[in-house]
Structure formats: structure tokens, C-alpha cells
Structure 1
């Protein structure tokens, strides 16, 4: 079993039929990810078109499964894409 954790960038782009209630439910979803130790960081785009978050997961399939549980995706309010991200951090 591989216990390696990778980082996955989830980009959420708002659709024309964006529902404010999905945005509120999305915040609850993110709090749950924090409680489960799966969320590294999150934030909206300053232009209001959506946002992104960084998930910790074992593989792309798991990360995609988690992201597809996001109320933004479930409601069709946003289009989510998931990308494995090899982050480089500098001092």
C-alpha cells in the first residue's frame, strides 16, 4: 500500500447558473476537509470568477473523487478541474 500523499490543485470556475447556496455549502465542505487533514490552502480569485484549493490525497483518482463531492460541482454552480501539482517552495 502506498501511503505517499501528493498535492492536487482544484480549480473551480463559476458557471452562469452559479447558486449562492452552493457557495455557502462549499464553505462547510472546506471546513470538513480541514478537519480531515486534507486541505492545504484555499482562496477565491480576485476577479470573482471562482477560486482554487490544494488537496492532499494519495492519487489523482482520490483527489477527483473528493473534489466531485464539492457542492459547487454537485450543484453545477462551478466547473472543477483537478491537477496533480508538484509544488516548489522557496525560503
Structure 2
């Protein structure tokens, strides 16, 4: 059984589009490091989600997410969920 980490991102009322490209660059770096499994936005524009892989623990996943520009630019509220897959 693999452990993945589902990251849910919900835009805050003060969301700024200036956070989008830095966030995409952040995801590209995770993909290049082999730590990003899947990513996508919600069709209603309220946010999106991504799935981290090859991460050692929930604490490590949370530390990665804390560096996401959506967090550092206070554009979205991100929550990490440990996800056990079969």
C-alpha cells in the first residue's frame, strides 16, 4: 500500500492571480524531484488539489506545502491529508 498526500487548496477572499505562476513553478520543481503525482484545478474556480508522492511522512508533506507560494503569498488555504491507496 502506497502513502500519498492529498493537498487541497481553497482560494482565500484576497486571492491574487500573481500567485499562480509561482505556484506552477513550485509544482514543476516538485514534479522534477519526483514528488508530484497529480495536480489540477476545480472547475468552479474555487481552488484545486495536488497529490504528493515519495514523501517520507505527513510532517514532511506539510513542510513541503508550507513553501507553496499559495501559502507564502497568503492566496489560498491549503490542507494536507495522508491518503492510503490500494
1:11 corresponding residue in structure 2: 8
1:25 corresponding residue in structure 2: 22
Residue ranges of structure 2 left out of the alignment (5+ in a row):
none
Residue ranges of structure 1 left out of the alignment (5+ in a row):
none
Query: How many residues are aligned here?
Result: 84
Deviation of 1:86 after TM superposition, in Å, equals 1.2
Deviation of 1:23 after TM superposition, in Å, equals 1.0
What secondary structure is seen at the aligned counterpart in 1 of 2:40?
strand
Give the 5 Å matches for 1:6-85: 6-56=3-53, 57-85=55-83
RMSD over aligned CA atoms reads 1.0
TM superposition outliers: structure 1 runs of 4+ over 3 Å = none
